[in-house]
Amino acid sequence: MTSIVNIIIALLMFSFLVAFHEFGHFAVAKLSGIKVNKFAIGMGPVIFKFTRGETEYSLRLLPVGGFCAMEGEDDTSEDARAFRNKPVRFRIATVLAGPVMNLILGFLIAVVTAGFLTEVIPTTTVREFLSGSSSQATGLQAGDEIISMDGMHIFTTSDISYKFSNSKDGVFDLVVKRNGVKTELKNVKFYREYYYYIEEATDEIPYEHYVKFDTKEEYTGDRELKKAEENADFKVYRVENKNFFNVVSYGFRDTLSTARLIWISFIDLVRGQYGLNDLSGPVGIVSAIGTVRAYGIESLMSLIMMISVNLGIFNLLPLPALDGGRLVFLIIEGIRRKPVPAEKEGMVHFIGIACLMLLMVVITIGDISKIFNK
């Protein structure tokens, strides 16, 4: 039953995110005077449809996205309002509108999550140090606001966690704001030892979790404690008195942080630091939904925000069949003052779709194998 619920959530989520994306194309196309032939929510057989003006609107059986079909988008058309007959600036705006809408949606979800679903908003200002903290001994002080780590600007605590997870030694050059003044700190080491045991899921905490202790003496039970190390050796201040401005500010910074980390991940993938086995498709996301649901609605909304931002950035990549690939052709047309023949551009996008579908099959097989190998 739980798996079915996860699948339903995933289908609804993808449909909503893709429909929002396609609505961006639709809205800007209409504003640009481009003729839109069809706008559909879902794919496959039509459940019901109606026509208003020149556009057919439909709801389709399979909740796996949607589409916005514009006149002359992939072929030649004599209609003056066809996509390819409109000025390049209008077409660029129409192509960009889909990914931008996903980025806007991600921001709105981040704001709603921070405003209504979280009790407090985390800052990047050090409140106190944990027992055995190395960062305090190597220059960091309570009250320091962490501005950057090794040259990377810090928007949220997620950025700090990212730097920790990708560090070999936990040593960083920092820029902090101390007493209102930016201060450089060299070779700050983040490190501490702690002890823990793993607690099974309970009614109060419905997922397996760590119970940590700074020293063995703190624990008075009879379970065997394990020793571990971590870079997070301090706690940050949290904003409890939320208002419109700090909620919107955090939502904006959270979206920027997510977008940058996704972009960095794409770059790392191209560099070979990640392989196909590290990628996840729909099956992997269904599994992830099952995991984050146990942590509550806040974690689920954060996952949806990340996927929406991911869709926006992914579609901006200059690859055939993606919005970024179409944008490349439009930029070339703007420079040459002459469009690439429709049949040639269409062939490039067709090949791109075929390659993306093949990649999706490979990723899905990998997702399924991960499930059976657990």
Burial of 12 (0-12, 13-18, 19+ CB in 10 A): exposed
CA angle in degrees (0–180, nearest 5) for 211-213-217:
130
Q: Which of 95, 101, 103 is nearest to 318 (CA)?
A: 95
22, 71, 73, 345: the active-site residue: 22
Query: Tokens in use for 172?
Result: 């960083």
SS3 of 58, please? strand
- Please list, in sequence order, all residues whose beta carbon lies within 8 angstroms of the beta carbon of residue 260, skipping any fewer than 6 positions away: 155, 159
Q: What is the DSSP letter of 217?
A: G
Q: Residue 112 in contact with residue 301, Cβ under 8 Å?
A: yes
Name the residue type at position 11. L
Name the residue type at position 73. E
Name the residue type at position 311. L
Distance CA 285, CA 342 (A): 36
Mark whether 218 is an active-site residue: no
Other beta carbons within 10 Å of 269: 14
For 175, phi then psi, to 5°, come to: -120, 125
Other beta carbons within 10 Å of 122: 18
Residue linked to tokens 């209008």: 90
Active site residues: 22
